[in-house]
Each structure stands twice: as C-alpha cells, then as structure tokens.
Chain A
C-alpha cells in the first residue's frame, strides 16, 4: 500500500523544518553583528567588527588551522581504514555479513561520550595499549596518548569510522564484481585493476565519505573536549569556552558563523576540484 501524504501536510512540515533551521541561525548570525559588553551584555550594532577582530587574531587563526589539520588527518586515517574494510565486506560471501552490518549500525548509534570513555580507559597511561607498547619496546617507550592531538585524532577516527564504512559499503556494492573480473581476465594485475577500474569507479564515493567525516570532525566537540583534556583547542572547544567562561555571545556567534563558512567553502572547493579532475580521460 502506498502511503498518501497530502501537499498541505508536506508544506506544513517544510515550513516547520525551515523555521527550526532559519530562526536559530538568524538569531545567532544577528548576535554576531553586535558589540560584546561582557558578562552576557550585548551592546550596539557594530556590523562585521567581531569578524574583523577574529580573522586578525593569530591565536584564533591558529585554532582554526589546527582544527582543519586535525580534521583532515583524522578523516584521511578513517578513509584509509574504512575503504578496505567496506570493500572486504561487500565481497564477503558469508551469512555473517548481516550480523557485521548490524554491529556497525549499533556502534554508530552509541553515544560519543561512551566511546570516548572507552578510549580513555584504553589509551590511558595505565591502559591496555600503553602496557602493550611498554612491553614491546622493553620498557623504553611510554608515549602519552591522551590529552594531545594524537588522542583527539584517535577519538575523531573512532567517531566517524562506522558511518564511513556503512557509506562506503554502499559505494562498493554498486560496483559490479564483473567489472573487476573483466579487468583481471583481460590482463590487469590486482594493482592495475584497482587503479584503472575500482578507484575511478569509487572515487566520488570516497570523496563524499571523506568530506562527511571531515565535516563531522570540524564540528566535533565531545571528542576534542574530553580526549584533548583542555589542552587541545579546536574551534568547537573555543566556542564553548567563549560562551561558558567568557560569556561572550557575539564573538562566539561570529566564530560559529565563520566555522560554518570555512566548512562550506572547503566542501565547495573539493567538489569543484573533483568535477574538474574527473572528466573522461581523453582518448589515446
């Protein structure tokens, strides 16, 4: 039976969604254009002055740079782990496949806080990983894995990984196995098949899932706050501090708007670059 939804209902839903999207954004975009008087007081309209101050503040620029760097590195690492995993899953002929997919789904629904807590136990100075490294290096190496960029990156990878595997599973599943077989039987080695057939076919999906992870990372607050232990300042952590410690709403709003703009700009640039990079290779 086909569910019938009247246009009026759809319109109502659309209006409601738009309202929930636009109103808060309108409020904080507007807020970012007023002067901060301290202790939560908002002064006069000052236009883009808050933005001008932020983009000329080398400390904040440093935080933005670090956030982008961390997000790119973590998204790349997740991609490198997720792509072969997803590929392996699509080519798996086992009745366990369903179970594995459900496990992935479950793990992507687990709260970040819980995941982070697990990582804190695992990566802590008395944790399993530390003990393992300590033993394998005969006691000569005891790296600090929490409360630094490394810890945050690990947290971000764990945060995005299940979603990325699920997304790439769909991508690889849409590439028929016969394409690979056609390449192999017509003389390609596994590597050449990967380069000439699999990679071009998957490229767009790989880019999309990389961008998805990157976007999630740019906005990730919990992993950065908890695994960074206050020592790793990313844009979301900084925004939270501006609100909670400085009670500076206008600057926090301006930085938020800036974060959105930076993320959108990076996505648009990546999309355009991909379009330019992937026309049909000219005939030889």
Chain B
C-alpha cells in the first residue's frame, strides 16, 4: 500500500502534447479513476506509470521511491489490461502464479498465494482451464488475480470492463471495488465511461487535452462542477445559454436567451458582464411549478413540455424553451402531477443548483 506522487509529468509525441505538466497525488489505498474522452491523455498517463512510455519530463514516485526511469518489472505494479492479456498457453493457475514466479517467490509461497487468489475471485474449480475456455467476466477476474497475486504496491487498470456487457460490467464494478477495499491497494483506473467512474472512484480525475479539468469526489464533480466540460461530461445536464449581467463573488445574474433572468453560481473561471455564459442545471434539480405557486427565490424558466418517459424510479420530462433549447427534468413519479402533453409550463430550480460557466469561444 503506497501513495503515488506525480509531479510535472509531461509527454510530447512529435508536436502533439499528450500529457501537460500533470501534478497528482494519489493517497495510499485510494481508488482514483482517470476519466475523459479519447485522446485526453489518461491512457498515456497510465502507461507512463507502468513504465511502457517514457515521460518527456517530470517524475513519478511510488511509496516515496522515484520510479521514473525504472523498467516496468522493478516498479512493483500490478496491471489489468483492456484485452485482459492472459497468457493463452497457461492455465488460470499458471497465469496467477506468473508474477509470483517472476518475483522469485518460493514454491510454497506460490502455491499458497495462488490458492488464496483463486478463493478471492471464486475460481478454484476452474483453476486448470485455459483462458480461451473462460467467459469474458471470468477472464477479467483471472487478470485481476494475476495482477494482485504478488502483492504489488499499486494496481493499474486500463479500461478493463470495456468488452463486457452492461449487466456483467455492473457486477464487475462492484466486485472490483469490494476487492480493492478489502486489500486496500492503491489503484488507478482508466475509463472513458463517466458512469463507471462514478461507481468506482474515491476520487475522479477528469482529463481533457492532456490537462486536469477537475479533480474531486464523485459527489463534488456531480454537485459542483468547476467547468462546463466537467458539467456536461459527468452526469446529465441541462445547458441554457445566456449573457452575464452582473456578478458579486460567486453570485451571478444571467439573462437567458429565452428571456428569463436567473441567479446562478460562478463555480469556475469568472466572466465579465456582457460575456456569453452557459448555465447548467441537473435534471433532478428542476421541477414543474404548481399552478398558483409563488416560486419566490427560485429561478423560473418557461418551457413547452413535450414528452413523459416513465423510467421506473423517475419520470423523465422533456421539453423545449422558447429558444428551442431542450430541457430534461427527472421527477419523482409520486409527484409528477399533470402528465398531459404538450403544454406550457413554468419550470423552477434553485439558484444554488444553477451553475454558470463562461461559454467556450
């Protein structure tokens, strides 16, 4: 169990900056998820941690030891690959034993640890099968066991669930979290799936164009995004365009294109009055105003409701503003009220759940 400290990590391919001066500290035992669109530098960062890619500059320390120039095998890292990368000619048992053998463990230790790992992933009955005779989920578990068998100080996971179907994916996510917490191993998990990031992470690092966009707990990223990118990348969001009228500290008055004037929080970079801004509100933070309700202190938005979708735990209400911007509301089915469509309605939402960001030029 070791902490990882990445300082000023920089990687350039030709004239392309893959990772730009990245600084990151991952606490001992923490599960950090790197998430972002393809080409954001998350995979390059992971491969630099593994030692498959040499950084252009910067350093990586694991448990206080500088590993920047060490070959992969001396870094004491376990890794799970996107395609599992199980050795095809070796049985489950031999695959799990590989790391132990290469680290010079005694025969008894190998046998004992392989037994323990087989128990951990509940694969003991299949120990003598070849990878090709296992299902995707089983291969995934073997890959995890192989990476953990020799008790590395860090576990790296490179989109390991990408090839699994949704149901299995969700099961594996829970299983990975359970194993990770049980062993308390420092873990870095790379994915492009924000939902997966939310489920797994202690903290999420959102990356974009080789830089950190935002770092925080899933709750922070979802509840208080500091950039438009994070806001629209993590979770669902309603985006309303407008112009900043005035701002006092984090409080901003915004004139929406659709005509309403609303109050919002400036959570990221500031903007000057007159500049274009985008306001973000989560679907479950919006509701339809009751007839005759006086929504004092709430933001109001006129919209035409066009569709109701019953999703089980919520009713999704879809509508459009007078500017044609689409709005989505997630409403408690018990309190959905009038479900007739289409109809004109007033949507209300609290100012402290409304975030304004400077619009991207």
Residues on B with beta carbons closer than 8 Å to the beta carbon of A280: 89-91, 130
A284 to B96, CA, bound (A): 12
Candidates B83, B89, B107, B110; contact of A200 at CB < 8 Å: B89
Q: How far is the CB of A180 from the nearest CB of chain B, in Å?
A: 9
* Contact string against B for A residues 253-284, beta-carbon threshold 8 Å, 1 for contact and 0 otherwise: 00000000000000000000000000011011
Say yes or no: is B136 at the interface (Cβ < 8 Å to chain A): no
Write the nearest CB–CB distance from A175 to chain B, whole angstroms.
Answer: 9
A197 to B101, CA, bound (A): 14
B150 within 8 A of A: yes
Tell me if A283 and B94 are in contact (CB < 8 A).
Answer: yes
Question: Whole-angstrom distance between the alpha carbons of A272 and B52 in the complex?
Answer: 39
**B99 adjacent to A187 (CB under 8 Å):** yes
For A187, what are the chain B residues with a Cβ–Cβ distance below 8 Å? Answer: 73, 98-99, 102-103, 150
- Contacting pair A182 B85 (CB below 8 A): yes
Contact A197 B78 (CB under 8 A): no
Q: Given the known A-B contacts A179-B85, A184-B73, A186-B78, are A283 and B50 also in contact in the complex, defined by CB atoms under 8 Å?
A: no
Considering residues A184, A187, A197, which has the most beta carbons from chain B within 10 angstroms of its beta carbon? Answer: A187
Q: How far is the CA of A204 from the CA of B155 in the complex (A)?
A: 34
Contacts of A183 in B (CB 8 A): 87, 98, 102
Contact B91 A185 (CB under 8 A): no
Residues from chain B with Cβ under 8 Å of A185 in the complex = 50-52, 72-73, 75, 77-79
- CB of B79 within 8 A of CB of A284, answer no
Give A176 to B127 CA distance when docked, in angstroms: 23
Interface residues on A, range: 20 to 34
A:184-202 near B, CB below 8 Å? 184-189, 192, 196-197, 200-201
In the complex, are the beta carbons of A284 and B73 less than 8 A apart? no
B-contact 0/1 string along A231-271, CB 8 Å cutoff: 00000000000000000000000000000000000000000
Taking a contact as CB atoms closer than 8 A, the residue among B88, B91, B147 that contacts A186 in the complex is B147
- Please give the distance in Å from B252's CB to the nearest CB on chain A: 48
Instruction: Jot down 26 A-B pairs with beta carbons below 8 A, ordered by A.
Output: A178-B85, A181-B81, A182-B86, A183-B87, A183-B98, A184-B72, A185-B73, A185-B75, A186-B73, A186-B99, A186-B146, A187-B102, A187-B150, A188-B73, A188-B102, A196-B87, A196-B98, A200-B89, A201-B89, A283-B93, A283-B94, A283-B127, A284-B93, A284-B94, A284-B97, A284-B107
Contacts beyond the supplied A185-B75, A189-B73, A284-B110: 14 A-B pairs with Cβ under 8 Å: A178-B81, A179-B85, A179-B87, A181-B50, A182-B79, A182-B146, A184-B73, A185-B73, A188-B102, A192-B102, A200-B89, A281-B89, A283-B128, A284-B94
